[in-house]
Amino acid sequence: METFESFLRTAPGEDLFAKCGRLSAALDTDAGAAARGLALRAAGPVGPRTLLAAPGEKPRPFLMFGSNSYLNLGTHPAVVEGARRALERYGAGAGAVSLYTGATDLVRELEARIADFYGAEDAIVFPGGYAANVGVLSALCGPGDVIANDSANHASIFDGTRLSGADAKVYLHGSAAHLERVLARLPAGGGGRLVATDGVFSMNGDLAPLGDIVGAARRHGARVMVDDAHGIGVVGPTGRGTAEAFGVLDRVDLHVGMLSKAPAGLGGFCAARAEVVRHLRLYARTYFFSTAMPPPVAGALVEVLKLLAADAAGREALWRNVRDLRARLSAAGFDVGPGGSAVVPVYVRDERRLAALHADLLDAGLYCNLVSYPACRRRECRLRLCAMKDHSPADIEEAAAILAAAGRRNGVLP
Ligand SMILES: Cc1ncc(COP(=O)(O)O)c(C=O)c1O
Protein backbone atom coordinates (compact mmCIF):
# COMPACT_ATOMS: atom_id res chain seq x y z
CA MET A 1 0.00 0.00 0.00
CA GLU A 2 1.30 3.44 -0.82
CA THR A 3 1.73 5.78 2.11
CA PHE A 4 2.61 9.42 2.74
CA GLU A 5 6.31 8.52 2.72
CA SER A 6 6.08 6.96 -0.77
CA PHE A 7 6.07 10.45 -2.33
CA LEU A 8 8.18 12.33 0.18
CA ARG A 9 11.63 12.01 -1.39
CA THR A 10 13.24 11.82 -4.80
CA ALA A 11 14.25 8.22 -5.48
CA PRO A 12 17.87 7.56 -6.57
CA GLY A 13 18.29 8.55 -10.24
CA GLU A 14 14.85 10.20 -10.39
CA ASP A 15 14.13 13.71 -11.70
CA LEU A 16 13.18 16.12 -8.91
CA PHE A 17 9.53 16.27 -10.06
CA ALA A 18 9.07 12.52 -10.67
CA LYS A 19 7.61 11.99 -7.19
CA CYS A 20 4.92 14.58 -8.02
CA GLY A 21 3.86 12.60 -11.10
CA ARG A 22 3.79 9.38 -9.07
CA LEU A 23 1.62 11.07 -6.45
CA SER A 24 -0.84 12.48 -9.02
CA ALA A 25 -1.24 9.05 -10.60
CA ALA A 26 -1.93 7.49 -7.18
CA LEU A 27 -4.46 10.16 -6.25
CA ASP A 28 -6.41 9.48 -9.44
CA THR A 29 -7.00 5.82 -8.49
CA ASP A 30 -9.82 4.57 -6.25
CA ALA A 31 -7.30 4.03 -3.48
CA GLY A 32 -6.56 7.74 -3.62
CA ALA A 33 -10.21 8.55 -2.93
CA ALA A 34 -9.45 9.27 0.74
CA ALA A 35 -7.42 12.29 -0.28
CA ARG A 36 -10.37 13.67 -2.24
CA GLY A 37 -12.02 14.51 1.09
CA LEU A 38 -9.10 16.90 1.58
CA ALA A 39 -9.94 18.79 -1.62
CA LEU A 40 -13.35 20.22 -0.66
CA ARG A 41 -13.70 23.99 -0.82
CA ALA A 42 -16.08 26.34 0.97
CA ALA A 43 -18.38 28.16 -1.41
CA GLY A 44 -19.96 30.47 1.18
CA PRO A 45 -19.60 31.58 4.81
CA VAL A 46 -18.62 28.91 7.32
CA GLY A 47 -21.46 28.08 9.70
CA PRO A 48 -23.37 25.05 10.97
CA ARG A 49 -24.50 24.37 7.39
CA THR A 50 -21.78 25.30 4.93
CA LEU A 51 -21.77 25.11 1.14
CA LEU A 52 -18.85 22.92 0.11
CA ALA A 53 -17.73 21.96 -3.37
CA ALA A 54 -15.71 18.91 -4.39
CA PRO A 55 -13.47 19.42 -7.44
CA GLY A 56 -15.64 19.46 -10.58
CA GLU A 57 -18.89 19.27 -8.59
CA LYS A 58 -21.54 21.86 -7.73
CA PRO A 59 -21.50 23.17 -4.13
CA ARG A 60 -23.93 21.48 -1.76
CA PRO A 61 -24.74 22.13 1.92
CA PHE A 62 -22.90 20.08 4.51
CA LEU A 63 -23.38 19.84 8.24
CA MET A 64 -20.12 21.54 9.23
CA PHE A 65 -18.20 19.85 12.05
CA GLY A 66 -14.71 20.50 10.72
CA SER A 67 -14.09 24.21 11.27
CA ASN A 68 -11.88 25.79 13.93
CA SER A 69 -14.15 28.84 13.94
CA TYR A 70 -15.61 27.56 17.19
CA LEU A 71 -17.37 30.80 18.12
CA ASN A 72 -18.55 31.72 14.59
CA LEU A 73 -16.88 35.11 14.98
CA GLY A 74 -16.03 35.32 11.27
CA THR A 75 -19.63 36.27 10.58
CA HIS A 76 -20.29 38.25 13.79
CA PRO A 77 -21.77 41.64 12.75
CA ALA A 78 -19.31 43.72 14.84
CA VAL A 79 -16.36 41.76 13.42
CA VAL A 80 -17.52 42.07 9.81
CA GLU A 81 -18.07 45.78 10.41
CA GLY A 82 -14.55 46.13 11.87
CA ALA A 83 -13.11 44.57 8.71
CA ARG A 84 -15.22 46.80 6.47
CA ARG A 85 -14.18 50.00 8.28
CA ALA A 86 -10.52 49.02 8.05
CA LEU A 87 -10.84 48.16 4.36
CA GLU A 88 -12.34 51.56 3.61
CA ARG A 89 -9.79 53.46 5.65
CA TYR A 90 -6.56 51.55 4.84
CA GLY A 91 -7.30 49.47 1.74
CA ALA A 92 -6.80 45.76 1.28
CA GLY A 93 -3.12 45.12 1.94
CA ALA A 94 -0.28 46.21 4.23
CA GLY A 95 2.28 46.72 1.46
CA ALA A 96 5.35 46.28 3.66
CA VAL A 97 6.86 44.30 6.50
CA SER A 98 5.94 45.52 9.97
CA LEU A 99 9.16 47.42 10.67
CA TYR A 100 8.90 49.27 7.32
CA THR A 101 5.49 50.78 8.20
CA GLY A 102 3.47 47.68 7.22
CA ALA A 103 1.99 47.40 10.71
CA THR A 104 -0.97 49.78 10.77
CA ASP A 105 -2.04 51.39 14.03
CA LEU A 106 -4.77 48.72 13.99
CA VAL A 107 -2.10 46.05 14.41
CA ARG A 108 -0.61 48.03 17.27
CA GLU A 109 -4.05 48.27 18.90
CA LEU A 110 -4.48 44.54 18.43
CA GLU A 111 -1.12 43.89 20.11
CA ALA A 112 -2.05 46.08 23.06
CA ARG A 113 -5.40 44.30 23.46
CA ILE A 114 -3.75 40.88 23.30
CA ALA A 115 -1.19 41.88 25.94
CA ASP A 116 -4.01 43.13 28.14
CA PHE A 117 -5.98 39.90 27.62
CA TYR A 118 -3.11 37.86 29.11
CA GLY A 119 -2.02 40.45 31.69
CA ALA A 120 1.33 40.65 29.87
CA GLU A 121 3.50 43.73 29.32
CA ASP A 122 3.40 43.61 25.52
CA ALA A 123 2.59 41.43 22.52
CA ILE A 124 3.81 41.01 18.96
CA VAL A 125 1.49 40.02 16.10
CA PHE A 126 2.83 37.85 13.29
CA PRO A 127 1.09 37.71 9.91
CA GLY A 128 0.80 33.90 10.17
CA GLY A 129 0.15 31.49 13.02
CA TYR A 130 2.66 28.90 11.87
CA ALA A 131 5.11 31.78 11.45
CA ALA A 132 4.58 32.85 15.07
CA ASN A 133 5.84 29.56 16.49
CA VAL A 134 8.72 29.31 14.04
CA GLY A 135 9.70 32.94 14.62
CA VAL A 136 9.53 32.92 18.42
CA LEU A 137 11.46 29.67 18.84
CA SER A 138 14.15 30.42 16.29
CA ALA A 139 14.64 33.97 17.64
CA LEU A 140 14.90 33.11 21.32
CA CYS A 141 16.69 29.76 21.12
CA GLY A 142 19.89 28.73 19.41
CA PRO A 143 22.74 26.23 19.55
CA GLY A 144 23.60 25.49 23.17
CA ASP A 145 20.02 26.05 24.37
CA VAL A 146 17.55 23.21 24.99
CA ILE A 147 13.90 23.06 23.91
CA ALA A 148 11.76 20.33 25.54
CA ASN A 149 8.71 19.50 23.43
CA ASP A 150 5.58 17.50 24.19
CA SER A 151 5.54 14.66 21.65
CA ALA A 152 2.11 15.78 20.36
CA ASN A 153 3.06 19.42 19.77
CA HIS A 154 2.01 21.13 16.55
CA ALA A 155 4.30 20.78 13.53
CA SER A 156 5.16 24.48 13.66
CA ILE A 157 6.70 24.05 17.13
CA PHE A 158 8.83 21.15 15.94
CA ASP A 159 9.82 23.11 12.83
CA GLY A 160 10.73 26.18 14.89
CA THR A 161 12.75 23.96 17.22
CA ARG A 162 14.66 22.48 14.31
CA LEU A 163 15.29 25.87 12.72
CA SER A 164 16.58 27.32 16.01
CA GLY A 165 19.48 24.87 16.15
CA ALA A 166 18.78 24.27 19.86
CA ASP A 167 19.14 20.79 21.35
CA ALA A 168 15.67 19.23 20.92
CA LYS A 169 14.26 16.98 23.63
CA VAL A 170 10.86 15.29 23.51
CA TYR A 171 8.80 14.19 26.52
CA LEU A 172 5.84 11.82 26.55
CA HIS A 173 2.55 13.44 25.63
CA GLY A 174 1.02 15.22 28.61
CA SER A 175 3.56 13.80 31.08
CA ALA A 176 4.96 16.42 33.45
CA ALA A 177 6.70 13.55 35.29
CA HIS A 178 8.61 12.57 32.15
CA LEU A 179 9.37 16.23 31.44
CA GLU A 180 10.82 16.50 34.93
CA ARG A 181 13.11 13.51 34.26
CA VAL A 182 14.20 15.00 30.91
CA LEU A 183 15.04 18.34 32.56
CA ALA A 184 16.77 16.70 35.52
CA ARG A 185 19.16 14.87 33.15
CA LEU A 186 20.36 18.10 31.49
CA PRO A 187 23.94 19.02 32.41
CA ALA A 188 24.27 22.01 34.74
CA GLY A 189 25.75 25.19 33.31
CA GLY A 190 24.46 24.69 29.76
CA GLY A 191 22.54 27.31 27.80
CA GLY A 192 18.95 28.47 28.20
CA ARG A 193 16.06 26.06 28.66
CA LEU A 194 12.56 26.29 27.26
CA VAL A 195 9.58 23.96 27.64
CA ALA A 196 7.25 24.32 24.66
CA THR A 197 3.76 22.85 24.63
CA ASP A 198 0.41 23.22 22.98
CA GLY A 199 -2.24 24.30 25.50
CA VAL A 200 -5.03 22.43 23.73
CA PHE A 201 -3.60 19.66 21.54
CA SER A 202 -5.10 20.37 18.16
CA MET A 203 -5.73 16.82 16.99
CA ASN A 204 -6.63 15.25 20.39
CA GLY A 205 -8.57 18.09 21.98
CA ASP A 206 -6.99 17.37 25.38
CA LEU A 207 -5.18 19.89 27.60
CA ALA A 208 -1.53 20.10 28.66
CA PRO A 209 -1.30 19.78 32.49
CA LEU A 210 0.12 23.28 32.72
CA GLY A 211 0.21 23.52 36.53
CA ASP A 212 2.59 20.55 36.73
CA ILE A 213 4.52 21.59 33.63
CA VAL A 214 5.17 25.08 34.96
CA GLY A 215 6.24 23.55 38.31
CA ALA A 216 8.72 21.18 36.65
CA ALA A 217 10.09 23.98 34.47
CA ARG A 218 10.61 26.30 37.44
CA ARG A 219 12.43 23.63 39.44
CA HIS A 220 14.91 23.20 36.58
CA GLY A 221 15.40 26.80 35.48
CA ALA A 222 13.38 26.52 32.26
CA ARG A 223 11.08 29.09 30.68
CA VAL A 224 7.64 27.99 29.46
CA MET A 225 6.01 28.69 26.11
CA VAL A 226 2.36 27.70 25.56
CA ASP A 227 0.81 27.67 22.09
CA ASP A 228 -2.87 27.96 22.93
CA ALA A 229 -4.14 28.10 19.35
CA HIS A 230 -7.29 26.13 20.21
CA GLY A 231 -7.71 27.36 23.78
CA ILE A 232 -8.11 31.11 23.25
CA GLY A 233 -11.73 32.16 23.68
CA VAL A 234 -12.79 28.59 24.48
CA VAL A 235 -11.00 27.17 27.54
CA GLY A 236 -10.78 28.59 31.09
CA PRO A 237 -13.33 30.34 33.31
CA THR A 238 -13.26 33.51 31.16
CA GLY A 239 -11.92 32.07 27.90
CA ARG A 240 -8.31 33.11 28.49
CA GLY A 241 -7.24 29.61 27.64
CA THR A 242 -5.48 26.60 29.08
CA ALA A 243 -3.18 28.62 31.36
CA GLU A 244 -6.25 30.22 32.92
CA ALA A 245 -7.89 26.80 33.35
CA PHE A 246 -4.86 25.66 35.40
CA GLY A 247 -4.48 28.97 37.28
CA VAL A 248 -1.03 29.73 35.82
CA LEU A 249 -1.70 32.71 33.52
CA ASP A 250 1.01 34.71 35.29
CA ARG A 251 3.51 31.83 35.32
CA VAL A 252 3.65 31.19 31.58
CA ASP A 253 6.55 33.16 30.07
CA LEU A 254 5.47 33.14 26.42
CA HIS A 255 1.77 33.16 25.60
CA VAL A 256 1.72 32.19 21.93
CA GLY A 257 -1.61 31.90 20.18
CA MET A 258 -3.24 31.90 16.81
CA LEU A 259 -5.72 34.43 15.51
CA SER A 260 -7.03 31.91 13.00
CA LYS A 261 -9.13 29.51 15.11
CA ALA A 262 -11.81 30.90 17.46
CA PRO A 263 -10.72 34.49 16.57
CA ALA A 264 -11.63 33.60 12.98
CA GLY A 265 -8.96 35.73 11.31
CA LEU A 266 -5.36 35.02 10.43
CA GLY A 267 -1.99 35.41 12.13
CA GLY A 268 -0.40 34.58 15.45
CA PHE A 269 1.02 36.37 18.46
CA CYS A 270 3.31 36.17 21.43
CA ALA A 271 2.45 38.03 24.64
CA ALA A 272 5.35 38.33 27.08
CA ARG A 273 7.61 40.72 28.97
CA ALA A 274 8.21 43.95 27.05
CA GLU A 275 11.93 43.30 26.63
CA VAL A 276 11.23 39.86 25.16
CA VAL A 277 8.74 41.30 22.67
CA ARG A 278 11.28 43.95 21.72
CA HIS A 279 13.85 41.26 21.05
CA LEU A 280 11.36 39.33 18.92
CA ARG A 281 10.61 42.37 16.76
CA LEU A 282 14.25 42.44 15.65
CA TYR A 283 15.19 38.76 15.69
CA ALA A 284 12.07 36.82 14.71
CA ARG A 285 12.71 36.44 11.01
CA THR A 286 9.12 35.43 10.20
CA TYR A 287 8.16 38.89 11.53
CA PHE A 288 11.07 40.99 10.30
CA PHE A 289 11.08 39.54 6.79
CA SER A 290 7.35 39.04 6.24
CA THR A 291 4.65 41.49 5.16
CA ALA A 292 2.37 42.66 7.95
CA MET A 293 -1.22 41.58 8.53
CA PRO A 294 -3.73 43.07 6.03
CA PRO A 295 -5.72 45.93 7.61
CA PRO A 296 -9.19 44.33 7.18
CA VAL A 297 -7.97 41.27 9.11
CA ALA A 298 -6.52 43.50 11.84
CA GLY A 299 -9.73 45.57 11.95
CA ALA A 300 -11.82 42.42 12.38
CA LEU A 301 -9.48 41.05 15.05
CA VAL A 302 -9.61 44.24 17.12
CA GLU A 303 -13.37 43.67 17.41
CA VAL A 304 -12.80 39.99 18.21
CA LEU A 305 -10.45 40.92 21.05
CA LYS A 306 -13.06 43.28 22.49
CA LEU A 307 -15.58 40.42 22.54
CA LEU A 308 -13.09 37.95 24.01
CA ALA A 309 -11.90 40.37 26.71
CA ALA A 310 -15.51 40.87 27.83
CA ASP A 311 -16.12 37.09 27.59
CA ALA A 312 -19.04 38.03 25.34
CA ALA A 313 -18.29 35.83 22.35
CA GLY A 314 -20.67 32.98 23.21
CA ARG A 315 -18.35 30.60 25.07
CA GLU A 316 -21.16 29.15 27.19
CA ALA A 317 -23.31 28.29 24.18
CA LEU A 318 -20.29 26.62 22.58
CA TRP A 319 -19.71 24.50 25.68
CA ARG A 320 -23.34 23.35 25.75
CA ASN A 321 -22.75 22.04 22.24
CA VAL A 322 -19.39 20.45 23.10
CA ARG A 323 -20.99 18.56 25.99
CA ASP A 324 -23.97 17.48 23.88
CA LEU A 325 -21.78 16.28 20.99
CA ARG A 326 -19.43 14.32 23.26
CA ALA A 327 -22.31 12.74 25.19
CA ARG A 328 -24.10 11.61 22.02
CA LEU A 329 -20.97 10.17 20.42
CA SER A 330 -19.95 8.35 23.61
CA ALA A 331 -23.46 6.96 24.00
CA ALA A 332 -23.25 5.65 20.42
CA GLY A 333 -20.12 3.72 21.43
CA PHE A 334 -17.34 5.90 19.98
CA ASP A 335 -14.06 6.58 21.79
CA VAL A 336 -13.89 10.38 22.01
CA GLY A 337 -10.86 10.76 24.29
CA PRO A 338 -10.71 12.71 27.55
CA GLY A 339 -11.97 16.07 26.24
CA GLY A 340 -11.32 19.56 27.58
CA SER A 341 -11.88 21.68 24.46
CA ALA A 342 -14.15 22.12 21.43
CA VAL A 343 -12.12 19.52 19.48
CA VAL A 344 -13.75 16.09 19.65
CA PRO A 345 -11.72 13.18 18.24
CA VAL A 346 -13.43 9.95 17.18
CA TYR A 347 -10.73 7.27 17.26
CA VAL A 348 -10.86 4.71 14.45
CA ARG A 349 -7.26 3.38 14.59
CA ASP A 350 -7.41 1.73 11.14
CA GLU A 351 -6.52 3.86 8.11
CA ARG A 352 -8.56 1.92 5.54
CA ARG A 353 -11.65 1.93 7.73
CA LEU A 354 -11.15 5.62 8.46
CA ALA A 355 -10.99 6.48 4.74
CA ALA A 356 -14.16 4.49 4.01
CA LEU A 357 -15.96 6.04 6.99
CA HIS A 358 -14.98 9.58 5.99
CA ALA A 359 -16.13 9.06 2.40
CA ASP A 360 -19.41 7.67 3.70
CA LEU A 361 -19.93 10.72 5.93
CA LEU A 362 -19.31 13.06 3.01
CA ASP A 363 -21.93 11.19 0.97
CA ALA A 364 -24.34 11.63 3.88
CA GLY A 365 -23.63 15.38 3.99
CA LEU A 366 -21.52 15.55 7.16
CA TYR A 367 -18.12 17.22 7.00
CA CYS A 368 -15.46 16.63 9.64
CA ASN A 369 -11.67 16.28 9.45
CA LEU A 370 -9.87 13.06 8.55
CA VAL A 371 -6.70 12.88 10.67
CA SER A 372 -3.94 10.43 9.96
CA TYR A 373 -0.17 10.47 9.46
CA PRO A 374 1.62 12.94 9.46
CA ALA A 375 -0.89 14.79 11.67
CA CYS A 376 -0.89 11.89 14.15
CA ARG A 377 0.49 8.36 14.44
CA ARG A 378 -1.14 5.89 12.04
CA ARG A 379 -2.33 3.61 14.80
CA GLU A 380 -4.09 6.60 16.39
CA CYS A 381 -5.85 7.77 13.21
CA ARG A 382 -9.24 9.32 13.76
CA LEU A 383 -11.98 11.67 12.72
CA ARG A 384 -11.79 15.12 14.27
CA LEU A 385 -15.05 16.94 14.93
CA CYS A 386 -15.30 20.53 16.11
CA ALA A 387 -18.35 21.89 17.85
CA MET A 388 -19.40 25.45 17.04
CA LYS A 389 -21.42 27.93 19.05
CA ASP A 390 -24.07 28.23 16.32
CA HIS A 391 -24.85 24.50 16.01
CA SER A 392 -28.44 23.86 17.04
CA PRO A 393 -29.38 20.83 19.17
CA ALA A 394 -30.93 19.38 15.99
CA ASP A 395 -27.61 19.80 14.09
CA ILE A 396 -25.78 17.87 16.79
CA GLU A 397 -28.42 15.16 16.99
CA GLU A 398 -28.34 14.73 13.20
CA ALA A 399 -24.52 14.63 13.05
CA ALA A 400 -24.35 12.01 15.82
CA ALA A 401 -27.01 9.89 14.09
CA ILE A 402 -25.17 10.06 10.73
CA LEU A 403 -21.92 9.08 12.45
CA ALA A 404 -23.46 6.19 14.35
CA ALA A 405 -25.05 4.76 11.18
CA ALA A 406 -21.85 5.19 9.16
CA GLY A 407 -19.80 3.77 12.05
CA ARG A 408 -21.90 0.60 12.00
CA ARG A 409 -21.77 0.33 8.18
CA ASN A 410 -17.97 0.58 8.20
CA GLY A 411 -17.28 -1.76 11.11
CA VAL A 412 -16.11 1.00 13.49
CA LEU A 413 -19.05 0.30 15.80
CA PRO A 414 -20.37 -3.23 16.38
C1 LIG B 1 -1.58 24.17 17.87
C2 LIG B 1 -1.40 24.93 16.60
N3 LIG B 1 -0.37 25.78 16.49
C4 LIG B 1 -0.16 26.47 15.36
C5 LIG B 1 -1.00 26.36 14.28
C6 LIG B 1 -0.72 27.17 13.05
O7 LIG B 1 -1.63 28.21 13.00
P8 LIG B 1 -2.12 28.83 11.63
O9 LIG B 1 -3.04 27.82 11.01
O10 LIG B 1 -2.83 30.06 12.03
O11 LIG B 1 -0.91 29.09 10.80
C12 LIG B 1 -2.10 25.51 14.35
C13 LIG B 1 -3.06 25.35 13.24
O14 LIG B 1 -2.93 24.70 12.29
C15 LIG B 1 -2.30 24.76 15.54
O16 LIG B 1 -3.30 23.88 15.63
Q: Which of 202, 260, 341, 372 is catalytic?
A: 202
Residues 95 and 189 in one domain: yes
Q: How far apart (Å, rounded) are the C-alpha atoms in residues 289 and 178?
A: 37
pLDDT band at 35 (very low <50, low <70, confident <90, very high): low
Q: What is the pLDDT of residue 32?
A: 65
List all residues 6 or more positions away from 14 whose beta carbon is below 8 Å from its beta carbon: none
User: For residue 49, what is the enclosing H or E element?
Assistant: strand 49-53
Domain of residue 355: give its range. Answer: 33-64+314-409
Residues 117 and 186 in one domain: yes
Model's pTM, two decimal places?
0.96
**Active site annotation includes 391:** no
Q: What is the pLDDT of residue 34?
A: 62
**Ligand 1 centroid vs 262 CA: distance in angstroms?**
11
Statement: residue 1 has pLDDT above 80: no
State whether the Cα torsion 246-322-364-337 is positive or negative: positive
The last residue of a domain, from among 264, 282, 309 = 309
**β-sheet bridge partners, residue 312:** none
List all residues 6 or more positions away from 283 whose beta carbon is below 8 Å from its beta carbon: 139, 140
Q: Which backbone phi and psi does 336 adopt, to 5 degrees?
A: -110, 15
Residue 19 lies in a domain: no
Q: Is 188 exposed, middle or buried (0-12, 13-18, 19+ CB in 10 A)?
A: exposed
Residues 81 and 152 in one domain: yes
Statement: residue 225 has pLDDT above 90: yes
Statement: residue 2 has pLDDT above 90: no
Ligand 1 atom nearest 267 alpha carbon: 10
Residue type at 240? R
Residue 387 lies in a domain: yes
Residues 90 and 192 in one domain: yes
Q: Whose CA is nearest to atom 9 of ligand 1?
A: 129
Domain count, the chain: 2
**Ligand 1 centroid vs 129 CA: distance in angstroms?**
6
Q: Are strands 146-150 and 193-198 parallel, antiparallel or unpaired?
A: parallel
Residue of 374 and 233 predicted with greater confidence: 233
Mean pLDDT of 304-332: 98
Residue 223 lies in a domain: yes
Residue 329 lies in a domain: yes
DSSP states of 330-399: HHHT----S--SSEEEEE---HHHHHHHHHHHHHTTEE-EEE-TTTS-GGG-EEEEE--TT--HHHHHHH
DSSP states of 167-212: EEEEE-TT-HHHHHHHHHTSPTT-S-EEEEEESB-TTT--B--HHH
Average pLDDT, the chain: 96
Q: What is the pLDDT of residue 216?
A: 98
Residues 201 and 270 in one domain: yes
What CATH number is attached to the domain comprising 324? Answer: 3.90.1150.10
Q: Which of 76, 261, 358, 389 is catalytic?
A: 261
Residue 16 lies in a domain: no
Residue 320 lies in a domain: yes
Q: How far apart (Å, rounded) are the C-alpha atoms in residues 69 and 186?
A: 40
Residues 154 and 94 in one domain: yes
List all residues 6 or more positions away from 345 whose beta carbon is below 8 Å from its beta carbon: 203, 204, 205, 336, 337, 371, 382, 383, 384, 385
Mean pLDDT of 254-283: 98
Residues 291 and 391 in one domain: no
Mutation choice for ligand 1 from 126, 130, 290, 369, CB with most ligand atoms inside 8 A:
130
List all residues 6 or more positions away from 24 whose beta carbon is below 8 Å from its beta carbon: none
**Active site annotation includes 389:** no
Residue of 111, 69, 105 whose CA lies nearest to 229: 69
Q: Whose CA is nearest to atom 8 of ligand 1?
A: 129
Residue 240 lies in a domain: yes
Residue 28 lies in a domain: no
The last residue of a domain, from among 275, 309, 343 = 309
Residues 287 and 143 in one domain: yes
69 touches 264 (CB < 8 A): yes
**Ligand 1 centroid vs 154 CA: distance in angstroms?**
7
Q: Whose CA is nearest to atom 4 of ligand 1?
A: 130
**Ligand 1 centroid vs 156 CA: distance in angstroms?**
7
pLDDT band at 312 (very low <50, low <70, confident <90, very high): very high
Residues 178 and 266 in one domain: yes
Helices 393-409 and 315-332, interaxial angle, to 10°?
Answer: 30
128 touches 269 (CB < 8 A): no
Residue of 350 and 34 predicted with greater confidence: 350
119-168: per-residue pLDDT in tens?
999 999 999 999 999 999 999 999 999 999 999 999 999 999 999 999 99
41-72: per-residue pLDDT in tens?
999 999 999 999 988 889 999 999 999 999 99
What CATH number is attached to the domain comprising 164? Answer: 3.40.640.10
Q: What is the pLDDT of residue 52?
A: 97
Statement: residue 330 has pLDDT above 90: yes
Residues 123 and 263 in one domain: yes
User: For residue 305, what is the enclosing H or E element?
Assistant: helix 295-309
Statement: residue 31 has pLDDT above 70: no
7 touches 24 (CB < 8 A): no
Statement: residue 309 has pLDDT above 80: yes
Residues 141 and 176 in one domain: yes
Mutation choice for ligand 1 from 70, 134, 156, CB with most ligand atoms inside 8 A:
156
Q: Which of 230, 255, 358, 391 is catalytic?
A: 230
The last residue of a domain, from among 309, 329, 356 = 309
**Ligand 1 centroid vs 409 CA: distance in angstroms?**
33
Residues 238 and 357 in one domain: no
User: For residue 81, what is the enclosing H or E element?
Assistant: helix 77-90
**Ligand 1 centroid vs 157 CA: distance in angstroms?**
9
**Active site annotation includes 169:** no
Q: What is the pLDDT of residue 37?
A: 75
Percentage of the chain modeled with pLDDT above 90: 93
Within 6 A (CB) of ligand 1 lie 128-130, 133, 154, 156, 198, 202, 227, 229-230, 258, 260, 268
User: For residue 138, what is the enclosing H or E element?
Assistant: helix 129-140
Q: Whose CA is nearest to atom 7 of ligand 1?
A: 129
